Amino acid sequence: LFAGEVTFLKGVVAMSGLPAADRVEVCFAGRSNVGKSSLINALTGRKGLARASNTPGRTQEINYFALGAQGYLVDLPGYGFANAPVAVVAKWQALLKSYLAGRATLRRAFMLIDARHGVKPVDAEIMDLLDRAAVTFQVVMTKADKMSAEGLEKTLAQTRAALARHPAAYPEIVLTSAEKGIGLPTLRAIIAGLD
């Protein structure tokens, strides 16, 4: 993966809209405001490719990006909106569940966790879904630049403890900062190694 150009393919609102499962894909999930758009933009070197997802109206869309002709990068809608209507949350969770349980070509889910906040109950719920769907997930810590080394150690320890409860968790945590460019080559290499 990651050999070719990254281009936006489509926004999907229902399982029927998913592109044919004919190539490997990785997905990015995280609470709204975790820094998912910033990370995807930094990772792909394309400013503005992934739009900030902090408007409730966009919470139900799964955005597909083509990684050359070999794979898909999937930007899942941010979850955990404080003020999202219950019906919106229910619809989005149903789509997320169907996607995570039914996508045979999904190689890995990257779970974005804010370095300042660690794993929240709503993150653990998504991790439970991934466990049940037997989709390997890997934690990507975002906004590492906002924390001291000591603060980072605390979040890492809390996250490792949380991951120990999830059989589908990949043990290695990737520390990143979209702003400072930390961890991007590592993450690119991990994705490149998945094909």
Binding region for ligand GDP (CB under 6 A): 30, 32-38, 52-54, 78, 142-143, 145-146, 177-179
Residue 182 tokens read as: 């930390």
We find the least distance from the C-beta atom of residue 107 to ligand GDP, in angstroms, to be 22
How many residues comprise the chain?
195
- Which CB, 52 or 101, lies closer to ligand GDP? 52
Q: How far is CA 18 from CA 24, 25, 26, 31, in A?
A: 13, 12, 14, 22
Give least dist CB 145 to ligand GDP, A. 5
Closest distance to ligand GDP from the beta carbon of 187 (Å): 12
Least Cβ distance, residue 127 to ligand GDP (angstroms): 17
Nearer to ligand GDP, 103 or 143 (CB): 143
Query: Minimal distance in Å, beta carbon 90 to ligand GDP?
Result: 20
Beta strands in the chain (DSSP E): 6-12, 24-30, 62-67, 71-75, 106-114, 137-142, 169-175
Give the residue with the Cβ less far from ligand GDP, 106 or 147. 147
* Alpha-carbon radius of gyration of the chain: 15
Q: Which of 77, 62, 74 is nearest to 24 (CA)?
A: 74
**SS3 of the chain: helix, strand, coil, percent, to 5:** 35, 25, 35
Q: Kindly give, in sequence order, each residue whose CB lies less than 8 Å from that of residue 2, ignoring residues fewer than 6 positions away.
A: 67, 68, 71, 188, 191, 192
- For ligand GDP, the closer of residues 23 and 116 by Cβ is 116
Of residues 81 and 99, the one with the C-beta less far from ligand GDP: 81
